[in-house]
Amino acid sequence: MSLVVRPCSSVEELRDALVISHYFGGDNRLEDAQWVSTVLRPERMHAAHQDGQVVGGAGAYGVPIWLPGGRAVASTGVTVVGVLPTHRRQGVLTAMMRAQLDDARARGEAIAWLWASEATIYGRFGYGLASLSAEIDLPSERAALRDPAPGPERCRLVDHEQALATMPGLYDRVAARHAGMVGRDRAWWEIRRLSDHPFRRGDAGPLHRLLVHRDGVPVGFALYRVRRGLQHGITQSVVKVVEVMGVDPAAERAAWRHLLQLDWMARIQADCLPVDHPLLLWLAEPRYLGMRLADGVWLRLLDLPAAAAARGWGSDEALVIELSDPFCPWNQGRWRLEGGTVHGTDAAADLRMPMDALGSAWLGGFSWRRLVQAGRAHAASEEAVDRADRLFRTDRAPWCPEVF
């Protein structure tokens, strides 16, 4: 009856631990697990065994996360978490989270983060809502730009190899300006972003790769698919935007201009957009974006000093925080933050918070003012809240452009 959680040691074991496929309606074939293992290494997949059966699995990508200030730090991207429906609510997830976070800490990963299927699951493990994610569903006839004049940029469609040669460098330049993006290696690009596997296509057609040039130099890109539709001879086709990046606003606008003006489309749909997306200001009729907000990534710190050293700070002022983190007690206590360094202290706390609230503030998604107002953190004084907000200040909303 005893439950044992251990990392997988082969692709076969990884396949068995992909219990989540039960909920995705997948076949869970070995060839799919082989494909997945290119980015999700078997030793980063924890399997829960009971009575000779795998009853749960929890995966982790060892990926950098980009932080405010333009630097990235080693992180744990939690993924494919699932427990068999016959074994739910018996503590299997809790045992896997324990093993996974201890393993990640031992590997020196400073932050753990994830997309949650349900917002109620991960708060108990110290994860706080760290970013919001917007989706749009825009009728093409309402997609006019306020200022429709084209810039000097030119667009061209490229093949897989050309995309792989240019897009990663452009992405890294964008990521340095947006906290919350995944640091991608070549395998990630091939398997997760540029792949045209049927699983990635869903109900749409092949992947189109658009490169934006200025003076012959690549400055942006768009990845998109078309979902064909026709009714009574009238198009119902949809542009399904996968991702748009530009190294500056004009480059990003040129890519969006291409997508908004594609002929014979009825709608433009995109998700995983930042809440401060410039489309709200570019469009003549932003109301028709039909922008909807949902929770984006959830985040917790594993190593406060390492995460603080990697983050850019809005001021050099000192702040004493009192942190509670029962699931990872090494983080608990009073810490003095100053100039990117963190030391244990006995000084009185300016702010008290649980780990999930610190996670909500880390990428700049929520100010301390909002967290205190919502009762998620407690401040010794108004001045302390202002000081904390100057310290944690960021210019842009955090943005994770992909669900992992």
Asked if 239 interacts with ligand COA (CB under 6 A), we say no
Cβ atoms of residues 251 and 224 within 8 Å: no
Helix or strand holding residue 166 (H, E): helix 160-175
DSSP state of 104: H
DSSP notation for 185-249:
-HHHIIIIIS---HHHHTTS-PPEEEEEEETTEEEEEEEEEEE--EETTEE--EEEEEEEEESSH
Asked if 53 interacts with ligand COA (CB under 6 A), we say no
Asked if 302 interacts with ligand COA (CB under 6 A), we say no
With respect to ligand COA, which residue has the nearer C-beta, 124 or 228?
124
Picking from 298, 262, 264, the residue whose alpha carbon sits closest to that of residue 75 is 298
Q: CB 83 → ligand COA: shortest distance, Å?
A: 4
How many CB atoms are closer than 10 A to CB 293? 11
Which residues make Cβ contacts (< 8 Å) with residue 395, sequence separation at least 6? none
Picking from 193, 180, 294, 200, the residue whose alpha carbon sits closest to that of residue 244 is 193
Separation of alpha carbons 349 and 325, rounded Å: 16
Question: Which residue is closest to ligand COA by CB?
Answer: 93
Q: CB 37 → ligand COA: shortest distance, Å?
A: 19
Cβ atoms of residues 257 and 145 within 8 Å: yes
199 is catalytic: no
**Binding piece for ligand COA, criterion CB under 6 A, among 90-98, 163-171, 290-298, 351-359:** 90-98
| One-letter amino acid for residue 236 of the chain | Q
**Binding piece for ligand COA, criterion CB under 6 A, among 87-95, 307-315, 363-371, 376-384:** 87-95
Question: In this structure, what token pair is assigned to residue 227?
Answer: 């979902």
With CB under 6 A as the contact rule, the residue among 57, 82, 128, 180 that binds ligand COA is 82
Tell me which of 61, 125, 127, 404 is the catalytic residue.
Answer: 404
With respect to ligand COA, which residue has the nearer C-beta, 91 or 326?
91
With CB under 6 A as the contact rule, the residue among 67, 73, 93, 101 that binds ligand COA is 93
Handedness of CA 194, 195, 196, 200 (dihedral sign): negative
Asked if 112 interacts with ligand COA (CB under 6 A), we say no
Asked if 91 interacts with ligand COA (CB under 6 A), we say yes
**Binding piece for ligand COA, criterion CB under 6 A, among 112-120, 170-178, 298-306, 383-391:** 112-120
Q: What x-and-dash track marks residues 9-38 binding ligand COA by CB under 6 A?
A: -----------x--x---------------
122 is catalytic: yes
Q: CB 23 → ligand COA: shortest distance, Å?
A: 5
* Residues carrying an active site annotation: 122, 404
List residues near ligand COA by CB under 6 A.
20, 23, 81-83, 88-94, 116-118, 120-121, 124
